[in-house]
Each structure stands twice: as C-alpha cells, then as structure tokens.
Amino acid sequence: MSKQPGRLIVGLIGEGIGASRTPAMHEAEGKAQGLDYSYRLIDTAGMERPDLEALLADAEAAGFAGVNVTHPFKQQVLAHVAEQAAEVGKVGASNTVLFTACGRKAHNTDYLGFFHAFRSELGEEPMDRVLLLGAGGAGRAVGLALAEAGVRNLLIRDRNAAAAERLVADIETQFPEAKAETVTEADLSGVVSDGVVNATPVGMLRHPGMPIVRDVLVRKPWVADIVYFPLETELLKTARELGCVTMSGRGMAVMQAAKAFELFTGIEVDPDRMARAFDSFDLGGNAR
C-alpha cells in the first residue's frame, strides 16, 4: 500500500511498549498542527524471534513515513538502513528511521533529548564523577551526552563488558578532556560518585526492579532514570527516600519525541505543548 495523500503514518518498534506515551504525544502534536497523523505501536513482546527487517519492510509497505525504534533494536537497526545521520555515527545506535525515496535513513534523537533534559534539570548539581548503568543503544547516547554536558569522569557498568569497553573508548576519543572506565558488579558497592544514571530497561513495566542495590545509592547527591513508563520507577522512589535529587525520564522522552516529530513531518514543534500532552495522558495513553 502506498502512502495516502494528506495522511501521515508513523510508528514505534520495540518490546513491551504497550504503555508508551509516545503515540499520545505525537498524535496530539499532529492534531495541533492540523495534520491527519497516526502513530502505531509494533510490539514484539511475545514474538519468539522478531524479524526486524520484516517489521521494517511491512511498515514501509503499509505506507509509514518512518518509525521510532526502541529496546532491544536500537543497535540492530543499523544493519537495515541505507544511510546514517551524523549523530548516529557518533552514538552507534538509532531510535528513528525515515523511509525515503533513496532508502532508509537512521537518526538518533535520544542523544539530544537526554542532553537538554539533563542540563535543564540537573545542570546545577555536581557532575564531575558519574556512574552510568547501561552501555547499549540508549546507554551510548546517554554516556556521550553526559560527556558533552561536562561530566569529566564516567564509570560505566554493563553486563556486556565488550559494550562497556567500546563506550569507554568512544567517549575518550570524542571527548579527550573526559575520562571513562568500566566497573564490575563487585565494584559498585565501593563506587564514589556525584550521581547515577540508569540507561538500562530495568524499571520498565515489563522489566520491574532496580538495576543496582539500594546501598549503592547512599550518599549520592542525585539519581536520573531514562525510563518513563512508569515515571516513578523503583530506583527513583528509593533514591528520593534516601534524600537524593531525582530526574525522571519525562524530559528525555518529550525532547526525543519532539525531534522525531520534526524529522517525520519537516515541521517545527512546540516542546512545551508536547510536554503538556505527555502530562495529560496516563500510562496507557488515555486522556485523564
């Protein structure tokens, strides 16, 4: 099926994404812009072996203008595109793919989304030494954004040691003034840092729990989580109980969605309006 004139269809490919607020934000902005705009979820939860190429091809055939991509496909998707925007080469992952006449083009709006949210919400907090949990697709974007935001010492923990080492090397190559190193699970209890950032899926509705034990949060000035459904993750709830300043995934979610909308439509958006849309919908995407 070819694209329908005057109608824009986009979507999100990921695992366990039923509670995502992204469709609500996009469709509310589309309506505000006077567009016939539809945002659909392509949830791979329950699929034994999701075929990402087939999912992308089906979306193209259905007339989608493009798709957002989330866990666990942000790095995998790079094998299925014809072109990569500059920021994708920097991050090594993509969360937005446009379907163009010249082929699929990968972008990454996570990087900019986290950078702006972090500087806005935690920019006055100490940030010389930060513990980053996760070096996957989102973790790479967050780690590099932290270095650009002024963090000079990054401690990176990921169960995939090779992924953590790659992120260390990329941070030190792209930001020579920053230092990065990996830490093991055993190291965490002794880590001294100004703050902690969770860039893993742990804490999402389908991945409940905390990515670290409570004791690691003691004497940490601040804790940030990029998970936004739910906004109140167990990690943030525990951090607040311990007196930490906290940052939820709201700001990153709004900014990455705004930039993705602009890529899909070519129309500049009002991030504050998208933030109001985010706040006006419950976790199922229903108006409150």
From CA 184, how far away is CA 262, in angstroms rounded? Answer: 39
Please tell me whether residue 65 adopts helix, strand or coil conformation: coil
With beta carbons less than 8 A apart as the criterion, state whether 217 and 242 touch.
yes
List, for residues 240-251, the tens digit of each pLDDT value.
Answer: 999 999 999 999
pLDDT of residue 49: 93
Phi, psi (deg, nearest 5) at residue 219: 65, 25
Q: Is the peptide bond before 208 cis (omega within 30 degrees of 0)?
A: no
pLDDT of residue 286: 46
With beta carbons less than 8 A apart as the criterion, state whether 283 and 229 touch.
yes
pTM reported for the whole predicted model: 0.86
Phi, psi (deg, nearest 5) at residue 40: -115, 145
pLDDT of residue 282: 52
With beta carbons less than 8 A apart as the criterion, state whether 21 and 283 touch.
yes
With beta carbons less than 8 A apart as the criterion, state whether 112 and 268 touch.
no
Domains of the chain (ranges plus CATH)? Answer: 7-108+251-279 (3.40.50.10860), 111-248 (3.40.50.720)
Mean pLDDT of 62-88: 96
The residues with which 198 forms a beta bridge, in sequence order, are 133, 225
The residues with which 227 forms a beta bridge, in sequence order, are none
Mean pLDDT of 196-208: 93
Q: Residue 283 pLDDT more than 80? A: no
Q: Residue 130 pLDDT more than 60? A: yes
Cα-Cα-Cα-Cα dihedral of 108, 170, 133, 95, to 10°?
A: 10
b/e for 90-128, b at 16 or more Cβ within 10 A?
bbbbbbbbbbeeeebbbbbbbbbbbbbbbbebbeeeebe
List, for residues 141-164, the tens digit of each pLDDT value.
Answer: 999 999 999 999 999 999 999 999
With beta carbons less than 8 A apart as the criterion, state whether 139 and 200 touch.
yes
How many residues in total does the chain contain?
288
From CA 202, how far away is CA 212, in angstroms rounded? Answer: 9
With beta carbons less than 8 A apart as the criterion, state whether 283 and 267 touch.
no
From 3, 31, 74, 90, active-site residue: 74
pLDDT of residue 205: 83
What is the percentage of the chain residues whose pLDDT exceeds 70?
95
pLDDT of residue 284: 43
From CA 12, how far away is CA 216, in angstroms rounded? Answer: 34
Question: Is there a catalytic annotation at residue 74?
Answer: yes
Q: Residue 4 pLDDT more than 60? A: no
